[in-house]
Amino acid sequence: MPARDIYHDSFKNSLIKDGWKITHDPYMVKWGLKDLYIDLGARQLLAAEKIEKKIAVEIKSFVSPSEVEDLKNAVGQFILYNDILARTEPDRVLYLGIREAVFVDIFEEPIGQVLLENQRVRLIVFEPEMEVIVRWIF
């Protein structure tokens, strides 16, 4: 099993505060002979609509010396996990969990904007010190 991201617990607490129930920590997906581990699986009951919403989240810290390298790795992992999850559990939506500082540094810049405009990734942006979700980007 892979090591946890340094912001794992802070992100998990942010999701719980936002009304999500953690169902998997980590969320294991088997594809062929490979086991893949997505950081979290969660669900939320939307009472008014009587619908259960399910998500999986891959948390990314972006702390290496190269933000571009971190971005390439995160996007590649997101695409791989998203395509496999679409076949194994199509009603569960995958997100990247990132800090607000990462969102500002990367996704408010042209390099990140192109990914959002082309709908390459979905994001849950959180503030780790306060442990709160700041924004969802579909």
pTM of this prediction exceeds 0.75: yes
Considering the domain 8-137 in this protein, what is its CATH number? 3.40.1350.10
Domains of the chain, residue spans: 8-137
Structure tokens at 76: 């590649």
Are the C-beta atoms of 122 and 95 separated by less than 8 Å?
yes
And the tokens for 92? 């569960």
Q: Which amino acid is residue 98, in one-letter code?
A: I
Query: What is the per-residue pLDDT across 66-84, written as a single tens digit (0 to 9) for each?
Result: 999 999 999 999 999 999 9
pLDDT digits 0-9 by tens, 102-132: 999 999 999 999 999 999 999 999 999 999 9
Structure confidence at residue 4 as a pLDDT band (50, 70, 90): confident
1 has a pLDDT exceeding 80: no
